[in-house]
Amino acid sequence: GAVVSQHPSWVICKSGTSVKIECRSLDFQATTMFWYRQFPKQSLMLMATSNEGSKATYEQGVEKDKFLINHASLTLSTLTVTSAHPEDSSFYICSAPRTGSSYEQYFGPGTRLTVT
């Protein structure tokens, strides 16, 4: 079946540094990928829609200059958290829809970011 991977699965960084998270569709092409953020004991909130060949679409309240998204190819989207602060500590999850007759959507395993 379709699989979406994320790398790294967890990362600890110091305040002020940048962190890049990768989301890959392993056996299908994804022109669109979604990035969600989940704070502890809360629900998942959509941050942005990553579009291959064009700019990402950010949800209201998400700083596009802080959360840089690059859809580098049909199987890879990256989320870079720039100048990370402790309040950016969260669980980041990507998803990729597989186009076709059923438009199934597949989630990555998530990346846990801790900013110290």
Q: List contacts with another protein (CB under 8 A).
A: 32, 34, 36, 38, 42-46, 49, 91, 93, 95, 97-99, 102-105, 107, 109-110, 112
Is residue 20 within 8 Å of 92, Cβ to Cβ? no
CA dist., res. 11 & res. 17, Å (int): 12
Least distance (Å) between residue 31 CB and another protein: 10
- Token pair for 22: 């990768």
Q: Toward another protein, which CB reaches closer, 44 or 68? A: 44
Q: Toward another protein, which CB reaches closer, 97 or 115? A: 97
User: For residue 88, which phi and psi values (nearest 5 degrees)?
Assistant: -85, -5
Least distance (Å) between residue 72 CB and another protein: 20
Q: Toward another protein, which CB reaches closer, 82 or 91? A: 91
CA angle 35, 53, 93 (to 5 degrees): 10
Least distance (Å) between residue 110 CB and another protein: 5
Q: Toward another protein, which CB reaches closer, 38 or 80? A: 38
User: For residue 87, which phi and psi values (nearest 5 degrees)?
Assistant: -70, -10
Is residue 81 within 8 Å of 18, Cβ to Cβ? yes
Least distance (Å) between residue 112 CB and another protein: 7
